[in-house]
Amino acid sequence: MATLLISDLHLHPGAPAITEDFLRWLDERASDADALYILGDFFEAWIGDDLLDLGDADPTGTAPLARRVISALKALADAGTRLYLMHGNRDFLLGERFAREAGATLLPDPSLVTLGDERVLLMHGDSLCTRDEAYMAFRSQSRDPEWQAQILAMPIPERLELARQLREHSGEANTNKAEDIMDVTPEDVVQALHAHGVTTLIHGHTHRPDVHDLEVDGQAARRFVLGDWQPGVGWEIEAAPGQDLTLRRITLSE
């Protein structure tokens, strides 16, 4: 049985084709998997799980989209696929309620897991982009539980306005093009693998899908980078016992 990993779908009401492609991929591809890991930036923006209560009254249109995604994930979970969600820099407010309704487990970033026959370090990837000092400062603030609780206590219209302001003041947040996203710092990749005692890292975030060979403590190591999904095209990693990890570009619709 295979395990699948994806990231950076950036689901958004403004890009309905990606949601349709994803729901079809779940049904046709992921339903055969024993586990599915979604490594962050699943949604382009997430201001709190209580958005789900707005339903069709959500002015951003995210709530109805998220409801469809939740019921598709729940169907998969009920049919026996284990689901894991990691936060990205866009959807770090995705909460326990979303996970529970979707039948998924929220994973900390980083997480060490066994895929196929090997121990693998999973991350979203933004924590490795340490040369972006302004973002790293925002990251430590935005992952602080007290700060999150304050934000979540704000009325939804205020949170929507705050999200809009954050997008305006962050160059990276305005675009999903790889050239506008800072790449990882190579030394921090080596340090992360060393610290966890493993030689394989899988992450997304940078929108630079690739497999990089490197060396950690004199041992050969690898960094797999998942790509972002675009209409018609996605990226997945497949892990299965007795088989090497495979990064694959997938055609989702013609």
| Contact footprint for Mn ion (CB under 5 A) | 41, 88-89, 205
Question: Would you say 54 or 138 has its CB closer to Mn ion?
Answer: 138
Question: Would you say 3 or 89 has its CB closer to Mn ion?
Answer: 89
Least spacing, CB of residue 172 vs Mn ion, in Å:
8
Question: Would you say 10 or 159 has its CB closer to Mn ion?
Answer: 10
Question: Would you say 121 or 216 has its CB closer to Mn ion?
Answer: 121
Least spacing, CB of residue 11 vs Mn ion, in Å:
13
Assigned token pair, 221: 């190591």
DSSP the chain: --EEEE----B-TT-HHHHHHHHHHHHHTGGG-SEEEE-S-SBS----GGGGGGGGG-TTSHHHHHHHHHHHHHHHHHTT-EEEEE--SS-TT--HHHHHHHTEEEE-SSEEEEETTEEEEE--SGGG-TT-HHHHHHHHHHT-HHHHHHHHTS-HHHHHHHHHHHHHH-TGGG---GGGSPPPPHHHHHHHHHHHT-SEEEE-SSS--EEEEEEETTEEEEEEEPPPPBTTEEEEEEEETTEEEEEEEEE---
Closest CB to Mn ion: residue number? 205
Least spacing, CB of residue 8 vs Mn ion, in Å:
6
Question: Would you say 181 or 216 has its CB closer to Mn ion?
Answer: 181
Least spacing, CB of residue 6 vs Mn ion, in Å:
13
Least spacing, CB of residue 189 vs Mn ion, in Å:
16
